[in-house]
Amino acid sequence: MVNTKVTLSGWTLDNPVIPASGTFNFGKEFAEFYDINILGTFSFKGTTRVGQFGNPTPRIAETPMGMINSVGLQNPGIDAVINKELPDLKKIFNKKVIANISGYAIDDYVYCCNLIDKEDQVGIIEVNVSCPNVHGGGMAFGTDPKNVYEVTKRVKEVTTKPVYIKLSPNVTDIVSIAKAAEDAGADGISMINTLLGMRINLKTGKPIIANTMGGFSGPAIFPVALRMVHQVAKAVNIPIMGQGGVSSAEDVIEMMMAGATAVQVGAANLKNPYACKEIIEALPATMEKYGIKDLNDIIGASFK
């Protein structure tokens, strides 16, 4: 028997596999395909102070080994999430979830985090300071250590649950950003969000995406994500949820060896709705293949 259980800030998960925010909505659609209670947990759709449609269409472009999206922060708003989405989720998911919170100003983050902190269904608050396809917020916070420090500090003042800061890879020094979050009291790091990319329509000569650029995700970014998780894990003393191009049980193990305690799966869910289920089912045999009896033993193996 192998042990797939991991612990994030005192919260024990059956396995480290977590669908990433923006790729799993609030779970209802995927619950039609399989019992989502097999998941470690999942991070729900990025939520803002008020509901919004997101960016104009078209907002998806395919790429070799990945995709570009500029959906933006389309969501029903924090009140609708608390009053409708979470009660609906409770009918199909018996575990706590990760609440992904986004904003356009520090007060937005503080307001939403304060409200969601009161919900028993939430185990961790994931503060997204790294969305690359919104204007006036998102990545604008995540590229400056001072801004990351301030957002983290302010959110921690109004919350009791563990707070994980979701970092952008679109920076020159990811370690300084992560350390700013840790210094401000973050309980963990979530990384990486999407890279910034674009595609051009050869017939028109114009960008395919209405917003010109968007978040590049998929297997192609896995080596970048792995490198950044490795760098940050060596520099901080708080746990990391690693993500970026993960699409197999082997990727999960490799990401954990780089320093992640748990692993989020994003774009793979959009290509194959059974992706997380298949990864979870393959994990025990993959561990045995590499002589791993306990996943906790391999966390940070790349630098220990």
Segment 56-100, tens digit of pLDDT:
999 999 999 999 999 988 999 999 999 999 999 999 999 999 999
**Across 173-179, average pLDDT:** 97
Segment 40-57, tens digit of pLDDT: 999 999 999 999 999 999
Q: Is residue 283's pLDDT more than 90?
A: yes
What integer pLDDT is reported at residue 132 of this predicted model? 46
Mean pLDDT of the chain: 95
Please provide residue 219's backbone torsions phi and psi, each rounded to the nearest 5 degrees. Answer: -55, -30
On the 0-12 / 13-18 / 19+ scale of CB atoms within 10 A, 44 is buried
Domain range for 84 is 6-298
Q: Is residue 136's pLDDT more than 80?
A: no
CA distance 223 to 204: 33
Tell whether 268 is covered by a domain: yes
Residue 244, Cα to own-chain centre: how many angstroms?
9
Tell whether 88 is covered by a domain: yes
What integer pLDDT is reported at residue 140 of this predicted model? 63
Tell whether 41 is covered by a domain: yes
For the record, the structure tokens of 130 come out as 């790294």
CATH number of residue 122's parent domain:
3.20.20.70
E runs forming strands in the chain: 6-8, 11-13, 17-19, 60-63, 66-69, 97-101, 122-128, 163-166, 188-191, 195-197, 214-217, 240-243, 262-265
CA distance 212 to 283: 38
Tell whether 242 is covered by a domain: yes
**Across 120-140, average pLDDT:** 74
What integer pLDDT is reported at residue 143 of this predicted model? 84
Tell whether 117 is covered by a domain: yes
pLDDT band at 134 (very low <50, low <70, confident <90, very high): very low
Contact present, 234 and 189 (Cβ < 8 Å): no
Contact present, 161 and 171 (Cβ < 8 Å): no
CA distances from 205 to 60, 194, 237 (A): 17, 25, 48
Q: Is residue 133's pLDDT more than 50?
A: no
- Specify whether 112 is catalytic: no
For the record, the structure tokens of 69 come out as 């999206």
pLDDT band at 17 (very low <50, low <70, confident <90, very high): very high
Q: What is the CA radius of gyration of the chain?
A: 18
Tell whether 210 is covered by a domain: yes
Segment 225-279, tens digit of pLDDT: 999 999 999 999 999 999 999 999 999 999 999 999 999 999 999 999 999 999 9
Percent of the chain with pLDDT over 90: 92
Number of domains in the chain: 1
CA distance 98 to 222: 22
Q: Is residue 157's pLDDT more than 60?
A: yes
Rounded (to 5) percent helix, strand, coil in the chain: 35, 20, 45
CA distance 166 to 237: 16
Catalytic residue of the set 112, 113, 131, 276: 131
Contact present, 33 and 54 (Cβ < 8 Å): no
Tell whether 304 is covered by a domain: no
Residue 275 three-state SS? helix
What integer pLDDT is reported at residue 131 of this predicted model? 58
Tell whether 303 is covered by a domain: no
